[in-house]
Structure 1
Amino acid sequence: MDKRRVLVVDDEEHILELIKFNLEKSGFYVFTSDNGEDCIELLHSNAVDLVILDLMLPGIDGLEVCKEIRKIEGFSKLPIIMLTAKSEETDRILGLELGADDYVTKPFSVRELVARVKAVLRRSEDIKKQEIKVLQLRDIVMDLEKHEVVVSGKKVELTLKEFELLKMLLENKNKVMSRNVLLDEVWGYDYFGETRTVDVHIRHLRKKIGDDETGKYIETIRGVGYKMK
């Protein structure tokens, strides 16, 4: 899975290093900037999944940077976590009104900040998924609102679990999904360890969507799980 990319903006070098070290340890790719102008330039030239933005910056302050980010094409919904001092409550509220998704008060717990980053990214992904109404892979078209699946122009009748399994695979196409992950996401923890359940449903699903023995849609990853390709 690709690393999530986080831009950290703060004019205190030790805070930048502290956050960068801990985010990288948690599996993130981290950019850093110590001022608002460089932050905007970095966003124009790099794909970023989330910004951690200090409120008090030299030159353009955090509130102005937040406003500028929201004007950049494609970044109107980019997750932003603001770093604020306890005395900046009014500015913190204004920051949330300008579009910041969360805030962390200095001095902060690094573990809490990393947890907030993960939570905000999860919420962002959930919102994106809710906004997507149709999933498509070549001849397969899944309409999430109508709860319909069409393959090569013909409607295919799927059970609820088959529909959810196909949805999970389409949402994660080209990613290997282990049997246990599919069990947790589609069936819940009660089925943990019963990987045969997944195999049986994959077999039925393949038959219904016309997936031949070569696995033109669903590839079996031996000993691990499945991948939509």
Structure 2
Amino acid sequence: MKKILIVDDEPNIVMSLEYAFKKQGYSVFIARDGSEALVIMEREIPDLVILDVMMPQVDGYETIGMIKNNPAFAKAKVIFLSAKSKAADIEKGLKLGADEYFTKPFSVKKLITAVDHLIRA
């Protein structure tokens, strides 16, 4: 079973994504910020991480840096899912190694399609 880690501090987004991805047959793990995400990744190396940018303690930009610099996690695909929608924010996220960048509000259907595509690639 393919594993997804959802890292976001907004409970409504986390709950809806967890439900949607479990329905698609994914194993889903949840973290509220980057530091919690890294603890979970030590136990359960996900195939893909859905990552918010603006979070308490460790933000998404710092988190992706830690993911990409750790050989154990580096193969995990990363999708940013953020309210930060300026071109500079998107460009920064992609330069840091994200495979995709979705802005909030977003289409769950399009996100699932992107996840399926990245995991199968």
* Mapping 1:170-181, distance limit 5 Å: none
Gaps of 5+ in 1: 124-229
TM-score normalized with structure 1 length: 0.51
Q: Aligned-pair distance for 1:101?
A: 0.6
Question: Secondary structure of 2:80's match?
Answer: strand
Q: Aligned-pair distance for 1:67?
A: 0.1
Alpha-carbon contact 2:77-2:99 (below 8 Å) kept: yes
Alpha-carbon contact 1:84-1:92 (below 8 Å) kept: no
1:110 partner letter? V
Alpha-carbon contact 1:92-1:103 (below 8 Å) kept: yes
Alpha-carbon contact 1:79-1:121 (below 8 Å) kept: yes
* Mapping 1:23-102, distance limit 5 Å: 23-85=21-83, 87-102=85-100
2:4 partner letter? V
Question: How many residue pairs are counted as aligned between the two chains?
Answer: 121
* Mapping 1:97-136, distance limit 5 Å: 97-123=95-121
Q: Deviations over 1:201-223 (max 9, x none)?
A: xxxxxxxxxxxxxxxxxxxxxxx
Larger radius of gyration: 1
Alpha-carbon distance between aligned partners in 1 of 2:120 and 2:111, rounded to the nearest angstrom: 14
Alpha-carbon contact 2:7-2:51 (below 8 Å) kept: yes
Q: CA RMSD in A?
A: 1.2
Q: Deviations over 1:73-104 (max 9, x none)?
A: 22223100001225343122111111111111
1:19 partner letter? L
Alpha-carbon contact 2:85-2:103 (below 8 Å) kept: no
1:50 partner letter? L
Gaps of 5+ in 2: none
Alpha-carbon distance between aligned partners in 2 of 1:89 and 1:28, rounded to the nearest angstrom: 31
Q: Aligned-pair distance for 1:72?
A: 1.6
